Chains A and B, each alone.
Chain A
Amino acid sequence: MKYDCVIIGGGIAGLTCGIRCVRKGLRTVIFSNGMNSLHFSSGSIDLLGYDREGRKVHSPFTEIQNMKNQNPRHPYAKSGIDKIVESVDFITRELSQEGMIMTSNGRENHFHITNLGVMKPTYLSQENIFNSESLNMVKSDCPIAVLNFSGFRDYFPELTIANLKKNNLFKNREFIKGDISLKEFDEKRRNHEEFRSVDIARIFNSERYLNKIAQKINKISGQAEIVTLPSFLGIENFRSVNRKLRELTGKEIYELPTLPPSIPGLRLDYALKNIFYKAGGEYVSNDRVICGNFSGRKLNYINTENSGKYGISAKNFMLATGSFLSGGLTGSYSRIHEPVFGLDTFYNQDRGRWHSKDFFDKNGHPFLSFGVETSDSFTAIKDTTEISNLFCAGSVLAHYDPVKEGSGGGVAITTGFTAASQMTGKF
């Protein structure tokens, strides 16, 4: 039995590629071992947040245009502006059909507000995440209530308020701080000191206590028209939870992305997987791809931990195994490896230059831009030979720094989509 397309790695890059391929009628399977980086991300999709000097970017496409000359090996330079626009629009459309509306600011960046009260440039954020556009919805002099759920130890409203006050947009706002507590839950939970965002998200998701919660919110927040809470307002039911809370309180309710595990990231992951399933894709959630069989410039089949003596063959393959955190790249003392196929990688030969001494260095850590080398059309290179039916996408790629540039989600989507176009074009 043969697939048209086998994708290794079920992160945002693999899923984007997979959705595109099944939509084009290809028989597609994704192999993934463990959950992806979306569970750590904010759930917003960054395209390009910062320029080379570390300044916030307002017009990502203008900046990307410049990139072509500055760093021609950058994945954005290889895909080109048209493909980036096409990919981002494609995924936005797919997500909205699945009920996940993403806020954007035309072709410009907007700013979402983190749990620390910091404004971060991003391209697409989930509609109920507190962002720079949200302020347009309310009177300029109304206070903002910054609330928490009592027992949730990963969040400090005071910090959010202190940081927001440093910002011109919020300088003159009045803030109200408070905690929502639910007696029912405190008693039931034997160990409520251990509340994690997931636990609270489940309370909201059940919708059982929304009336009570709404009453408490109204009591604490007084005149405030905007209420923020950490992003745990429901998982699968987040849309209905948000809508009901807004109706019940009569206020604009927004979420602030929390520390991992990230509920907005989880929602995005659910939505993408659902789209892929519904379109007819096959997803193997617990199998590691361990090696491949090559002849000349072609990858014939791959083997997984469970595949035994029969490999899995396909016309085209795609490597989207992520970066160091996901096991897509590994580092030994002097080298960077791509562990599945042993593809050619790019890294600095001088080990001393892999990371910067300052953890928060504005210039980033060089190791973050290490990864696999590819041709201009994202085909893999093994022992300096181009493999014509193996493509690479996402954070396994070299020559960009997702953290310094704020480009992780955008590069993953663009390269996943571009690789898919190459594959579907071949039929």
Chain B
Amino acid sequence: MDKLKNISFDHCIKCTICTMYCPVSKETPLFPGPKQAGPDSERLRIKSPGLVDSSLKYCTNCKRCEISCPSDVRIAEIIQDAKWRYLKKKFFRPRDFFMSRTDLAGRFGTLLAPLSNFFLKLDLMRFFLDIFLKIPGKRTLPKYNRTTFSKYFTKYMAERQKNFTRELLYFHGCYVNYNDLRLGTDTVDVLNEMDYGVKIADEKCCGVPLIANGYIEKATKNALHNINALSLNDCTSRIVSTSSSCTFALTHEYESFLKVDNSSILNRTSYITRFLYEEFSEGNIPQMGNIGLRAAYHSPCHLERQGGLIYTIGVLKMIPGLELIVLNSECCGISGTYGFKKEYYGISQKIGENLFRQIELAEPEVVITDCETCKMQIEMNTRYRVIHPVSIIKMAIERGREI
């Protein structure tokens, strides 16, 4: 018996509350739901490991089941673990391989941008992706930066970081690095404004897409690499990340799921708004001007799972002139790479419908959210631009300068 590591299934009181809240079981009868796929089957799987089956793949790992469980059962983790045992049995899966290597795909994408952006828009190319990689043709795909954030930072921003009193490590993640350079530079600017000099480490993909696609060994390697890189030369600076999912990996999944010792970074790492909230509370608030904006806020599942919601809302409420409508907590449906796969595309879109309707009803000017994939999903399905909280602060700072 090699693993009995997560025995939280034993605390299950069979109340079925988790299944009531699972967005996937709401939309498809093909998924038996968290209770059955998690604690119920785990009991049987421990006895006969062959019992893992393909229906587990429907789980998006959104973790809403864990949020609702009154007995602290780590349901999603049990499912991920079993899913991986099932997936390992299969051979090379080109799409999943490519998709989960966000850094590899990103490196090519950025290298070849704007060529890659051009091709990704071509119908012929979309057709090719659809047929050969099973990435649905209707799906909007991420755009690539012309240069990576880390290169840009080293070339244009690193020098001036010495001028600040305090120091901070920024874990930018793949999305900022390859797809959203602007969020990266906004973050550095905001932190500079608060007298923090920013450093970046030699980071690799945090591992979230690898875990979701069953590449556990590779994810573990990345985890070890990142922990080392972030603790280099006994570094004790605080670490911030602008991705709620990267933060969740660094602070939770490395330890609880990959069983990697993350104690050297655990207490130093926080999602950016949490850090800002603490700084703001101590009076370190950048000069901001009246932003005059009506925005709807969507809370990403993984941020909620970490209890990070109040910090983002807390920070947003301190921005002058921001009229904030907090949307009911609802899954957008994309769940990382899930919504990019042909077989789940329909389910993913249906899960998100409630949220899209809510956004339309709120009639905002923009939507704010913390998560990069939620952003893609919302931008594809509504007419609104989606902005990260840090970029909103940057806008407010600029507004302050105009006056």
The answer to whether the Cβ of B313 comes within 8 Å of any Cβ in the partner chain is yes
Knowing A1-B314, A282-B313, the reply to whether A277 touches B307 (Cβ < 8 A) is no
Q: Does B328 contact A (CB under 8 A)?
A: yes
Interface assignment of B293: CB less than 8 Å from any CB of chain A:
no
Q: Name the one of A185, A191, A284, A308 contacting B309, with C-beta atoms under 8 angstroms.
A: A284
Q: Mark A268-286, 1 if CB is under 8 A from B, else 0.
A: 0000011001001011111
Give the CA-CA distance A260 to B15 in the complex, in Å. 7
What is the CB-to-nearest-CB distance from A160 to chain B, in angstroms, rounded to a whole number?
22
Please give, as numbers and ranges, the residues of chain A lying within 8 Å of B318 by CB-CB distance: 1
Q: Are B67 and A39 in contact (CB under 8 A)?
A: no
Q: Which residue of B lies closest to A273 (CB)?
A: B328
Taking a contact as CB atoms closer than 8 A, the residue among A40, A283, A286, A305 that contacts B15 in the complex is: A40
Are A284 and B66 in touch, CB under 8 angstroms? Answer: no
User: B278 — which chain A residues lie within 8 A by C-beta?
Assistant: 310
B281 / chain A contacts, CB cutoff of 8 Å: 1, 310
| A266 interface neighbour in B20, B267, B304, Cβ under 8 Å | B20
Is the Cβ of A34 less than 8 Å from the Cβ of B306?
no
CB pair A194–B304 under 8 Å, yes or no, is no
Query: In the assembled complex, how far is the CB of residue B9 from the closest CB belonging to chain A, in whole angstroms?
Result: 16
B285 to chain A, nearest CB (A): 11
Per-residue CB contact flags for chain A residues 158-195 toward chain B (1 = under 8 Å, else 0) read 00000000000000000000000000010011110010
Q: Are A282 and B310 in contact (CB under 8 A)?
A: yes
Q: Are A198 and B277 in contact (CB under 8 A)?
A: no
Given A34-B70, A185-B29, A188-B29: A39 touches B17 (CB 8 Å cut-off) = yes
Instruction: Say how far B179's CB is from chain A's closest CB, in angstroms.
Output: 28
Q: Does B241 have its Cβ within 8 Å of any Cβ on chain A?
A: no
Q: Say how far B303's CB is from chain A's closest CB, in angstroms.
A: 10
| Nearest 6 Cβ contacts at the A-B interface | A306-B307, A34-B70, A287-B307, A286-B67, A261-B16, A198-B20
A-B contact pairs, 19 of them (CB 8 A): A1-B277, A1-B280, A34-B67, A34-B70, A34-B71, A35-B17, A191-B32, A194-B36, A196-B19, A198-B20, A198-B25, A261-B17, A274-B328, A282-B309, A282-B326, A284-B304, A285-B67, A304-B307, A305-B307
Nearest chain-A residue to B327 (Cβ)? A277
7 additional contacts (CB under 8 A) given A260-B15, A304-B307: A34-B67, A191-B32, A202-B25, A282-B313, A282-B326, A310-B278, A310-B281
Bound-complex Cα distance A191 to B30 (A):
10
Tell me if A393 counts as interface (CB < 8 A to partner B).
Answer: no
Interface bin, chain A: 35 or more
Bound Cα distance from A40 to B20, whole angstroms = 13
From residue 292 to 321 of chain B, which have CB atoms closer than 8 A to chain A? 304-310, 313-314, 318
Is B185 close to A, CB under 8 A?
no
Q: Is B69 part of the binding interface, using a Cβ–Cβ cutoff of 8 Å? A: yes
A29 touches B310 (CB 8 A): yes
Please determine whether B329 and A285 come into contact, CB atoms closer than 8 angstroms.
Answer: yes
Asked whether A326 is an interface residue with its Cβ less than 8 Å from the other chain, the reply is yes
Residues from chain A with a CB closer than 8 A to the CB of B116 are none
Chain B proximity mask over A302-342: 1 for CB below 8 Å, otherwise 0: 00111110101000000000000111000000000000000
Question: What's the nearest-Cβ distance from chain A to residue B62, in Å?
Answer: 12
Residue of A nearest to B66 (CB): A286
Are A306 and B19 within 8 A (Cβ)? no
Residue count of chain B within 8 Å CB distance of chain A = 39
- B218 beta carbon closer than 8 Å to chain A: no
CB distance from B38 to the nearest CB of A (A): 14
Q: Are A196 and B67 in contact (CB under 8 A)?
A: no
Q: Which residues of A contact B (CB under 8 A)?
A: 1, 29, 33-36, 39-40, 185, 188-191, 194, 196, 198-199, 202, 260-261, 266, 273-274, 277, 280, 282-287, 304-308, 310, 312, 325-327
Cα–Cα, bound, A308→B19 (Å): 31
Q: How far is the CB of B12 from chain A (nearest CB, A)?
A: 12
Asked if A306 contacts B306 (CB within 8 A), the reply is yes
Q: Is B10 an interface residue (CB 8 A)?
A: no
Q: How far is the CA of A163 from the CA of B20 in the complex (A)?
A: 30
Q: Which residues of B contact A305 (CB under 8 A)?
A: 307
A39 cross-chain contacts in B, Cβ below 8 A: 15, 17, 20
CB-defined contacts of A260 to chain B, threshold 8 Å: 15-16
Q: Which of B26, B66, B305, B326 contacts A202 (CB 8 A)?
A: B26
Which residues of chain A have C-beta atoms less than 8 A from B326's C-beta?
Answer: 277, 280, 282
Contacts of A188 in B (CB 8 A): 29-30
Interface: B363 (CB within 8 A): no
Which residue from chain B places its CB closest to the CB of A304 in the assembled complex?
B307
- Inside 8 A of A196's CB, which chain B residues have their CB? 16, 19
Most buried by A among B17, B20, B67, B280: B20
Contact of B29 among A36, A189, A280, A304 (CB under 8 A): A189
Closest to A192 in B: B29
CA distance in complex: A282, B21 (Å): 20
Q: Which of the residues B32, B36, B69, B329 comes within 8 Å of A34, measured between beta carbons?
A: B69
Q: Is B68 located at the chain interface by the 8 A CB criterion?
A: yes
What CA separation (Å) do A419 and B72 show in the bound complex?
A: 29
Q: Compute how far the CA of A53 lies from the CA of B304 in the bound complex, rounded to whole angstroms.
A: 47
Q: B314 to chain A: which residues have CB within 8 Å? A: 1
**CA A191 to CA B37, docked complex, whole Å:** 13
Closest residue of chain A to B67 (Cβ to Cβ) is: A286
